[in-house]
Chain A
Amino acid sequence: MPDNLRSTPITMPDEGARELVVNMGPQHPSTHGVLRVKITLNGETLEAADPDIGYLHRCFEKISEGLTYPQVMPYTDRTDYVAAITDEWAYALAAERLLGVEVPERAEYIRVIMGEVQRLLSHLIWFGSFAMDMGAVTPFLYAWRERETGYDFMETVTGTRQLYNFLRIGGVRNDIDDDGWQALDRFLKAMDQALIEYDTLFTKNPIFEVRAKGIGPLSAEEAIAFGASGPVLRGSGVARDLRRDEPYSVYDRLDFAVPVGSSGDAYDRYLVRMLEMEQSLRIIRQAIKQIPPGDIQGKVPKAMKPTGEAYARVEAPKGEVACYLVGNGTVNPYRMHWRSPCFTHLQLLPHWAPGNLVADMVVLIGTIDIILGEVDR
């Protein structure tokens, strides 16, 4: 951060100086949910941060042990509730691997289209709220405008706006009809325009640059050691994307680039997410051209009683979402574990906090794009 653009932080005088412990949250607008961060302050400089999570914990993993395999699907929506499709996808993939179910091609393409629209929607929410966190209200309103056309598409296809319960083990619930294709077309056209608008409005904004550049730096080695994935890892310059790296579904037939940052700060992570949105648009357009006619539901066994285990992961908007599923020959999963990227990324807060200002804490929380439903599960 350039020094001349920031006033000198207020620190406590040495005499009688003491640390001040402040609760940020659980009901703080910048924590995007119910996250409590216990911060230790010297004046307005952070000395330590200790995230306290679990406010939304419902032991989803224990609940799953009492459900049958198809019944788990709606619960996965509630983990990352702004990107429900990719969560369903991780579970569907794990269950399909466990059961040995084949998914028809058309269903795979529908999953790709829905998944990428979901990525755009998730990044739009992130873009709007990240700008809002830093005091810029206008981008939030713009992002919400495009998000609405996106949710129109989701609603036309799935019937709901956020928690879809759309994927099935071995396929998807329903096909995209004519209304759906038209809504998708409207959304894509709106996004093309909008991305240029966001860029003009925000990317080069000097206040934003001052707030985001150099905040929360993360080297490539650190990012890997801290288990970072998704835009956080790529912002640090590690070109890893599960869609290309461990191709699932039909991603190996689609052409897209992997955006990578160089300095690994909040600004680079912003650029990575914005560029990812362009790539998602590219993927959707290719998928629309390639989608074949056919079935949308594969053959699944009548009684789902698998044995063995499966670990499936997908590239969700936040990072690597994975599901570890163990079957013991009954209709219920014996054990189900959910690997959540936000949970892993939140460990970076104590790593980043020392030396930053309180106002930067808001940027740090925003830059990892947390959803507390996923952190707490």
Chain B
Amino acid sequence: MGKAERASAMEASIKEQFPGVATEITPRGELVARVSPGGYLDFCRYLRDEQGFKFLSMITAVDYPPDRFELVLYLDAYGASGDAPAMQVMDTRTRQELGPRSAGLTTSQGTPVMVAATLASIIVKCDVPHDHPVIPSVTPLWPTANWHEREVYDLMGIKFEGHPDLRRILLPDWFPGHPLRKDFTSKPALREPEARPWPVVWPDQKDGREPGE
């Protein structure tokens, strides 16, 4: 069973369980699912527990002014499977036994702990309204979501309910605004003296001009 067939089988079972979720399949065999903010967390839990999407590749958001953000998650299901592509795997244990003369010697059909091929990929999209940008956090489901959600919060200003440590991550705490929003312009925000974390006063400044202006 290829990736595309697996995706359409998955689409059918999602339609059955979650009739409100709109799905489509991309030409590359990825499933795209659109959920409402209300059903977002339940749907994610279902994907992880029932469909085996254990790997979260990324979380990001796109701003579509004036009314919505689109939260985007990219998930992979992988694991040992009968029809996974044949994989030549090299075990480092062999290398440890061979000792220090490895070049050209070490290829062997080892028995790895887990041969993982991508069985399916899904893109989960969820519209978050501009006037109330709050969505449940998926950090309890995938620990890796922690920093990805902090980044979305930092740069896009979407708040994640139930996140263990929702702080800015890339920008300093005092930074005004969220730069990846389409209405963000950096210049006025940082030029205004009151937006600065500390006042800049030069001892020889007489005419009120900024140094370098």
Query: How many A-B residue pairs lie within 8 Å, measured between CB atoms?
Result: 155
- Assess A220 versus B62: contact at CB under 8 Å? Given A196-B103, A275-B106: no
> Which residues from B are CB-within-8-Å of A225?
54, 142-144
Min CB distance A184 to B, Å, is 18
Q: Which of A236-279 touch B at CB < 8 Å?
A: 236-240, 244-246, 255-262, 268, 271-272, 274-275, 278-279
- Assess A275 versus B95: contact at CB under 8 Å? Given A53-B169, A54-B170, A322-B58: yes
Q: Across the two chains, which residue of chain A brings its CB closest to B146?
A: A347
> Which residues from A are CB-within-8-Å of B104?
278
CB pair A278 B89 closer than 8 Å: no
CB pair B96 A220 closer than 8 Å: no
Is B51 positioned at the interface, with any CB of A under 8 Å from its CB?
no
Q: Once the chains are docked, how many angstroms separate the CA of A200 from the CA of B91?
A: 19
Which of B57, B102, B114, B123 is the one whose CB lies under 8 Å from A239? B114
CB pair A240 B78 closer than 8 Å: yes
Is B2 positioned at the interface, with any CB of A under 8 Å from its CB?
no
Interface core residue of A196, A199, A259 (most chain B CB under 10 Å) = A259
Size class of the contact patch on chain A: 35 or more
CB pair B60 A57 closer than 8 Å: no
Is A335 positioned at the interface, with any CB of B under 8 Å from its CB?
yes
- Assess A260 versus B101: contact at CB under 8 Å? Given A227-B55, A240-B116: no
CB pair A239 B89 closer than 8 Å: yes
Q: Across the two chains, which residue of chain A brings its CB closest to B101?
A: A196
Min CB distance A251 to B, Å, is 12
CB pair A324 B72 closer than 8 Å: yes
Min CB distance A261 to B, Å, is 5
Instruction: Annotate B68-99 by CB proximity to A: 1 below 8 A, 0 otherwise.
Output: 00001010001000000101111111011001
CB pair A195 B90 closer than 8 Å: no
CB pair A271 B95 closer than 8 Å: yes
- Assess A227 versus B144: contact at CB under 8 Å? Given A239-B89, A258-B90, A324-B72: yes
Residues of B that sit less than 8 Å from A by CB: 28, 30, 54-58, 60, 62-63, 72, 74, 78, 85, 87-93, 95-96, 99-104, 106-107, 110, 112-118, 123, 142-144, 146-148, 151, 155, 169-172, 179-180, 184
The list of the 10 closest CB pairs from A to B, nearest first, reads A227-B144, A237-B113, A271-B92, A54-B170, A199-B100, A337-B60, A240-B116, A339-B58, A260-B112, A257-B90
Would you list 15 pairs from A and B whose C-beta atoms are within 8 A, ordered by A residue? A53-B170, A59-B180, A195-B103, A238-B112, A238-B113, A239-B89, A240-B116, A245-B85, A245-B118, A257-B107, A322-B57, A337-B72, A343-B147, A344-B144, A376-B170
